Chain A
């Protein structure tokens, strides 16, 4: 009896949860489906859900007409490049904060966080003018620099919270064993922190991939990552639903998969360790 009631309750919850889940996911699903339709089917009324003529031609056309691959590579280079550059600067800083905390460590951490809260419009104009005058506008290098800087506080914070879970005694042991600073970080700390560093890398690639203020304002055509490339579809001449869907699906799919893998780290990274 009780068992049956429990199962009935579970069945009800299952139906409810799945319905809500599908509704929330539906825009993504719909986009993915539309990307396999012909343009005519994409705007057909009433729309067909699965019973349409499946085609891959939107994907090939997006590539041919607008050099999708260039923008995809821009996204890869900018997101990965800015994350790696950020890690390079952040690892030593997080080491010192986690293992040699001083009286001011806390203030420095909080200050770094505060830079993240600076609204981008507050510095948009000078950065735009500086980039224009130094020829960094619409370059991958320029975007890497900006995204490194805007995500640096998150990288430092995430690494800091991961490093703090490593017992300091192990690093002291390395110091006793004759390891210098470089050896201590390279041979002892980093190998032990691999999971944390991987999570940090993953989350920051996601954030950089989806960053859509600086990429929209500082890139035009050559260096435009997918965020800016997709935005060009909002102009009337680009209004082809199936092609828009194909481009969107390709832009979202890789990062969605990464995101699904990193959902736990997401919470920790985006709340600066306040919720774990």
Chain B
């Protein structure tokens, strides 16, 4: 079915290497998210899988067949683009029907499939409109509709939610997750937003400068980041990193502690400092503390924590949640488990 295997693939544009040799296996039915900062090569990787770019070397197997040299149309993949890439001169119906027409399906079958997809995506009332007359969320659904009618081996999503406003983004995130649950088809999803990655993925691939930094489930990446890059990229607000004397005390060059794993106190603790900014959200309180001899640390307290600018507070890291990194940024064995992180 929808298994995709990348073996030793590389991509360079001229002399510039964008993707060094890379191996990755995506299992059938998995929801895989490629995440990383912009320019990390995640979109390029997706385009290589789609066939919109040629790999410079290596092989791509889709569904057990070598697809390295196949043109995009013959790979059996469907793609949802960042800009949706709807055909502006066609109605919603014709947009969704386009891949079917290209596959020379007879008209009755085309109509049936388009109607079915429209029903799933709540687009039935909009079939005769043009993309220009739709809202952002509706356009997004048309793009998805155009992808699902083809019944592809796998879906490719290229930052599909980045053009939507925040509220809509949450909705569409849920819709795509539900779609994955109901179709059970392999999905590869590219985003720079680690929240999307954490909430949607079965498996996250963290990319940096074309290299895979770590592959794992969201919780694995959160709790056992393999290096400083992953530790800093996953989680919001991002992990606090402490270098120097304080870190050497824990036997590392750098230690990392997430804001939610710093215990705040007004009485005493391991580090003391003054509050520079406190953000009171009701459900949480984020406190930016200027710690003596260390710098600014962010701590999260559940619920309301009544401090203000200039207050003296104490921070204590939860020992078992402390991450330790060597000089190269690789994770050292966790203090709590004593096991070496692979």
Q: Do A and B come from one complex?
A: yes
Measuring CB to CB, which residues of chain A are less than 8 angstroms from any residue of chain B? 167, 169-170, 172-180, 183, 187-188, 191-192, 194
Q: List 21 A-B contacts (CB under 8 A).
A: A169-B81, A170-B85, A170-B86, A170-B88, A172-B52, A173-B81, A173-B87, A173-B146, A174-B87, A175-B72, A176-B78, A177-B98, A177-B102, A177-B150, A178-B102, A178-B150, A179-B98, A183-B102, A191-B87, A191-B90, A192-B87
Contact of A167 among B50, B78, B85, B146 (CB under 8 A): B85
CA distance A174 to B79 in the complex (A): 10
Q: Are A192 and B102 in contact (CB under 8 A)?
A: no
Q: Are B99 and A178 in contact (CB under 8 A)?
A: yes
Q: Are B86 and A177 in contact (CB under 8 A)?
A: no
Q: Which residues of A contact B52 (CB under 8 A)?
A: 172, 175-176
CA distance A178 to B83 in the complex (A): 19
Shortest CB distance A231–B (Å): 44
The digit string for B25-55, where 1 denotes a CB below 8 A from any CB of A, is: 0000000000000000000000000101000
B340, CB-defined interface residue at 8 Å: no
Q: Which residues of A contact B87 (CB under 8 A)?
A: 170, 173-174, 188, 191-192
Shortest CB distance A197–B (Å): 13
B73, CB-defined interface residue at 8 Å: yes
Q: Which residues of A contact B5 (CB under 8 A)?
A: none
B103, CB-defined interface residue at 8 Å: yes
CA distance A141 to B26 in the complex (A): 61
CA distance A176 to B71 in the complex (A): 9
Q: Are A178 and B103 in contact (CB under 8 A)?
A: yes
CA distance A262 to B146 in the complex (A): 37
Q: Which residues of B contact A188 (CB under 8 A)?
A: 87
Measuring CB to CB, which residues of chain B are less than 8 angstroms from any residue of chain A? 50, 52, 71-73, 77-79, 81-83, 85-90, 98-99, 102-103, 146, 150
Shortest CB distance A162–B (Å): 14
Q: Are B73 and A177 in contact (CB under 8 A)?
A: yes
Q: Which residues of A contact B50 (CB under 8 A)?
A: 176
CA distance A187 to B79 in the complex (A): 19
Closest A-B pairs by Cβ, 3 of them: A178-B102, A177-B99, A173-B85
Chain B residue, CB-CB nearest to A167: B83
CA distance A97 to B121 in the complex (A): 37
Chain A residue, CB-CB nearest to B74: A178
Shortest CB distance B325–A (Å): 39
New A-B contacts (9) at CB < 8 Å, excluding given A177-B99, A191-B90: A167-B85, A169-B83, A172-B52, A173-B86, A176-B77, A177-B98, A178-B103, A191-B87, A192-B87
Chain A residue, CB-CB nearest to B14: A103
Shortest CB distance B212–A (Å): 25
Chain A residue, CB-CB nearest to B50: A176
Q: Are B73 and A175 in contact (CB under 8 A)?
A: yes
CA distance A192 to B98 in the complex (A): 15
Q: Are A176 and B79 in contact (CB under 8 A)?
A: yes
Q: Which residues of A contact B82 (CB under 8 A)?
A: 169
Q: Which residues of A contact B81 (CB under 8 A)?
A: 169, 172-173
Q: Which residues of B contact A180 (CB under 8 A)?
A: 73
Q: Are A169 and B102 in contact (CB under 8 A)?
A: no
Q: Which residues of A contact B89 (CB under 8 A)?
A: 191-192, 194
Chain B residue, CB-CB nearest to A171: B85
CA distance A183 to B103 in the complex (A): 12
CA distance A35 to B275 in the complex (A): 89
Q: Are A174 and B86 in contact (CB under 8 A)?
A: no
CA distance A45 to B108 in the complex (A): 78
Contact of B85 among A169, A179, A194 (CB under 8 A): A169
Chain B residue, CB-CB nearest to A175: B72
Shortest CB distance A108–B (Å): 19
Q: Which residues of A contact B71 (CB under 8 A)?
A: 175
For A169, A180, A194, the residue with the greatest tally of chain B CB atoms inside 10 Å of its CB is: A169
CA distance A188 to B85 in the complex (A): 11
Shortest CB distance B269–A (Å): 52
Q: Which residues of B contact A176 (CB under 8 A)?
A: 50, 52, 72-73, 77-79, 99
Q: Which residues of B contact A192 (CB under 8 A)?
A: 87-89
CA distance A189 to B21 in the complex (A): 36
Q: Which residues of A contact B83 (CB under 8 A)?
A: 167, 169-170
Shortest CB distance B149–A (Å): 10
Shortest CB distance B139–A (Å): 12
Q: Which residues of A contact B86 (CB under 8 A)?
A: 170, 173
Chain A residue, CB-CB nearest to B78: A176
Q: Which residues of B contact A172 (CB under 8 A)?
A: 52, 72, 79, 81, 85
CA distance A194 to B88 in the complex (A): 12
Q: Which residues of B contact A178 (CB under 8 A)?
A: 73, 99, 102-103, 150
Shortest CB distance A99–B (Å): 12
Chain B residue, CB-CB nearest to A177: B99
Q: Which residues of B contact A191 (CB under 8 A)?
A: 87, 89-90
For A170, A178, A188, the residue with the greatest tally of chain B CB atoms inside 10 Å of its CB is: A178
